[in-house]
Amino acid sequence: MTQTTHDGESHVEGIGQRLNWLRAGVLGANDGIVSVASLVVGVAGASSDNAALLTAGVAGLVGGAISMALGEYVSVSSQRDSEKALIDKEARELREMPDEELEELTQLYRDRGLSDDTARQVAVELTAHDALTAHLEVELHIDRNDLVSPWQAAVSSAVSFTLGALLPLLAILLPPPEWRVPVTFVAVLLALALTGTVSAHLGGSGKGRATLRLVVGGALALIVTWGIGSLLGTTGVV
């Protein structure tokens, strides 16, 4: 029986890059909202000083954006390196064992429901036109002209985090001192409900449960950090 797969190659179809970037943007915004909101609410529990709130908020925003960008850059760089390695491996196999690769492509089309004759004809014609592209698209689901970009991922992540973080920062600074924490709670929970709904829609999952988990988790983070900040403030630690 002819071997139709090679070690180290995945035949699992991936999600489109545009959807991935959009989802990453939503998640980045969500991270910015929760992390900076928790930070400034915690500080607000201990102090009502504008300078302290602004310093903490800006530090959290800048540090978080840089961290998100760096993490995304490293992660996507690894993915890009893996894709390039698979492309080089496939090109080498096409040079060294073209008959086996043709049979592999034929079998992949059989697995998709084509008859033996049709699968063979399609494989032969695609191989004659552009063998490497045919194998990358059908076998590995890689478009060699549209590889992931680490810089695009890093910038997108940093921007989405920053936009998300601006909401709690403005919500804690603009209202009068007695309204800062309540306004921030409401603004953050509404924003989390929105990002949860969008994220669930992109992932094709149920919106209600996904949004509820996000809102409850965000509320818990705010309550805990505000409680710790209040405790430290009332005990005179800060």
Q: Is residue 94 part of a domain?
A: yes
Whether residue 136 is contained in a domain is answered as yes
Residue of 149, 115, 208 lying closest to 21 (CA atoms): 149
Distance in angstroms (rounded) separating the CA atoms of residues 144 and 166: 37
Q: What is the mean pLDDT of residues 15-44?
A: 79
Mean residue pLDDT of the chain comes to 82
pLDDT tens for 23-37 read 667 778 888 999 999
Asked if residue 10 belongs to a domain, the reply is: no
Instruction: Dump the DSSP string for 81-133.
Output: HHHHHHHHHHHHHHHH-HHHHHHHHHHHHHHTT--HHHHHHHHHHHHHHHHHH
Residue 11 domain flag: no
For 132-174, how does the pLDDT look when each residue is reduced to its tens digit (9 = 90+)?
888 888 877 777 777 777 888 888 889 999 999 999 999 999 9
- In this predicted model, what pLDDT tens digit does every residue of 66-122 receive, in sequence order? 999 898 899 888 888 888 888 888 889 888 888 888 888 888 888 888 888 888 888
pLDDT at 17 over 80: no
- The two three-digit tokens of residue 5, written as one number: 């797969």
pTM of the model: 0.73
Res. 3: pLDDT tops 60: no
Joined together, the tokens standing for residue 175 give 């209202």
Task: Give the range of the structural domain holding residue 123, as residue numbers without chain letter.
Answer: 17-233
Does the residue 9 lie in any domain? Answer: no
The structural domain count of the chain equals 1
- pLDDT band for position 21 (50/70/90)? low
